[in-house]
Chains A and B, each alone.
Chain A
């Protein structure tokens, strides 16, 4: 397996008013091309911080973060980020939001028609062809998150980074978008790193689940390979013993090993 994203003994320390806050400690992780990896852990364990290190929004205090063999110098369009709160610009339509990304990445090389087609294709890929000329405040939360995904995909990133993308959605919308994400990732053979706190979501979507210990100084507690065959069907998996066994392992990590530490603290 080719190491595509590689994190080597990453430490992240934030300066705060009360002194230094050690968010992440000695995180080493490699993600292969085409792999779907989720980061799971309790709130405040630094999983978003870790994702932001890959995104380039946070720089590690020590250690090396590499993407496609190169050190990550800062944010860039080769790593498409889908933010937790969608972060669409409210003064632009959905199409314009996506087009802005397309224009920045491909504007120099491609003509106007090609750019427009790219933005439209991305919106169609997330099933938003109909609503593309609406503004974000005119569409539902699920649709906003689709636009966020379309914006990230439209840049043809090497890695897709998702920061609790479905956390704010209701259960039905979330299930629907999870299925769509699985379809898109299968179609594009994309490499994905996703932060979540939803155990079912992690097991359903991932090839590997990275379970993180509670912060401060969070580490990788355990890595679980999810060897369920794809395509995966949530209804069939519900009765699958192996699925339930894997799910149980994640739950055990989160609610036995990590809870106890939290209560003791």
Chain B
């Protein structure tokens, strides 16, 4: 007697297809149903507009209040008020990409240089941190081995690493990239490791029952299951990286938004400092939102 009995032979079998008549039935009913939502169309648009306006009122009020308070505080002339800052910003952003030597470049160049440093440092942190997180999450021995080092180094202020970077790389730009690297690696390691530990046992059992090779377990089960956690780590990391770059560039100089803030302070151009604060905030917000969007794309419903 052959051992394999549950082979899938379908010859001569005619499958009943229960879904087909239901679909047909729905189609025949549809025309009489359809006009209703169309008639409700304009109403629905109005409803949508009402909800959208309703959602926008509180944030708009908050911003107005903020600008009002700012104007009030700026009234005695110690810091520039909203309108002075606005006029200065219009002038500044009229020509964001001028280049008059290394210490006088447009705001656009400064932002791009900072973003480039963040990109490189953060990218390298991801390349190292995510695989490391996988290993730490998968093997208890390795987790126990790295735990003391991680808990010791993680709370260290990122800028404390700057002298080490300057010493090793002997240049300002790689030193600030190094600071970005070391400060953004921890959230990625920890979140990836936590994600790997939280992969449901059911999914791993599926892998065992199907006798999937380890590489398939990694690509088909572990990685997709952990991806939302990784993206959380990435999101936290990019926030930290963007926070840190401003401070690092203030100390190291060169072209970059942090240096620009310090340079404008030396010029006593306070409008530009306030503009820089907004620019840093807006760029940070955009980075965050881009990653939130990415995370939503790759998350899965249970």
Give Cα A153–Cα B212 distance, bound, in whole angstroms: 16
Give Cα A192–Cα B178 distance, bound, in whole angstroms: 60
A100, B205: Cβ atoms closer than 8 Å? no
Number of A-B contacts (CB under 8 A): 106
B6, A89: Cβ atoms closer than 8 Å? no
Scan A225-239; emit 1 where CB is below 8 A from any B CB, else 0.
000000000000000
A127 and B15 in contact, given A2-B1, A104-B210, A157-B6 (Cβ under 8 angstroms): yes
Distance in angstroms from A24 CB to nearest chain B CB is 19
Give Cα A35–Cα B95 distance, bound, in whole angstroms: 82
A104, B1: Cβ atoms closer than 8 Å? no
Distance in angstroms from A141 CB to nearest chain B CB is 13
Q: Which residue of A34, A68, A77, A154 contacts B209 across the interface (Cβ within 8 Å)?
A: A77
B8, A130: Cβ atoms closer than 8 Å? no
A100, B220: Cβ atoms closer than 8 Å? yes
Scan B191-219; emit 1 where CB is below 8 A from any A CB, else 0.
00000000000110110111111001000
B300, A91: Cβ atoms closer than 8 Å? yes
A121, B300: Cβ atoms closer than 8 Å? no
Q: Does A188 contact B (CB under 8 A)?
A: yes
B16, A127: Cβ atoms closer than 8 Å? yes
Distance in angstroms from B229 CB to nearest chain A CB is 14
Give Cα A122–Cα B203 distance, bound, in whole angstroms: 21
B13, A187: Cβ atoms closer than 8 Å? yes
B211, A104: Cβ atoms closer than 8 Å? yes
For B13, the closest partner residue in chain A by CB is: A187
Q: Does B25 contact A (CB under 8 A)?
A: no
A124, B15: Cβ atoms closer than 8 Å? yes
A188, B216: Cβ atoms closer than 8 Å? no
Give Cα A131–Cα B10 distance, bound, in whole angstroms: 19
Scan B180-199; emit 1 where CB is below 8 A from any A CB, else 0.
00000000000000000000
Q: Does A125 contact B (CB under 8 A)?
A: yes
Q: Which residue of A57, A80, A104, A137 contacts B302 across the interface (Cβ within 8 Å)?
A: A137
Q: Does A221 contact B (CB under 8 A)?
A: no
Q: Does B82 contact A (CB under 8 A)?
A: no
A85, B6: Cβ atoms closer than 8 Å? no
A158, B220: Cβ atoms closer than 8 Å? no
Q: Does B221 contact A (CB under 8 A)?
A: yes
Q: Does A62 contact B (CB under 8 A)?
A: no
Q: Does A40 contact B (CB under 8 A)?
A: no
Give Cα A24–Cα B282 distance, bound, in whole angstroms: 62
11 more CB-based (< 8 A) A-B contacts, given A83-B206, A130-B17, A137-B300 = A57-B205, A57-B209, A74-B208, A77-B209, A80-B6, A83-B202, A91-B225, A100-B220, A124-B10, A127-B15, A156-B4
Chain B interface residues toward A at CB < 8 A = 1, 3-10, 13, 15-20, 202-203, 205-206, 208-213, 216, 220-221, 224-225, 300-302
